[in-house]
Amino acid sequence: MEFTDRILTCVDCGGEFVFTAGEQLFFQDKQFKNDPKRCKPCKSRRAHGGPAPAEGAGPAAAGISRTETRTECSECGVATTVPFKPTQGRPVLCRQCFKSKSAAPSVAAAATASANSEAVVPSPTQMHSTASHPPLGAAS
């Protein structure tokens, strides 16, 4: 049987989506009796228990979502959400701790730079002062 791409209407958002020939072949192989009712973003949103889409409003209508993970700050212990899946063994910081942590290296670098500029480095002649060694050829 020859399949061709078909345009269907999503029952959730009312938008049109393409039911490709490959998807139709897949549906036939799996012996699905009905055509899909929802576009991919609405199907994904429904599968993850998200709210019904707002018609034509913002990134949700375009099917763009951001993963938010609830976790606990490694520094202060406050409950927070982060836009990524935390990796085991790596610290996760809340917004406030992250800001203070990212500001700290620049302060530390400035302190190190000023400490280095104030440090007195002896010159090679100062390193070999005559006070500790008698002049050559001098009788001791």
- pLDDT band at residue 38 using 50, 70 and 90 as cut-offs: very high
pLDDT of residue 66: 64
pLDDT of residue 32: 92
pLDDT of residue 86: 79
Question: What percent of the chain has pLDDT above 70?
Answer: 61
Asked whether the predicted pLDDT for residue 71 surpasses 70, the reply is yes
Is this model's pTM higher than 0.85 or not? Answer: no
Domain boundaries, the chain: 6-61, 69-112
- pLDDT band at residue 36 using 50, 70 and 90 as cut-offs: very high
Average pLDDT, the chain: 75
Which is more confident, 93 or 128? 93
pLDDT of residue 134: 59
- DSSP β-ladder status, 79-82 and 6-9: unpaired
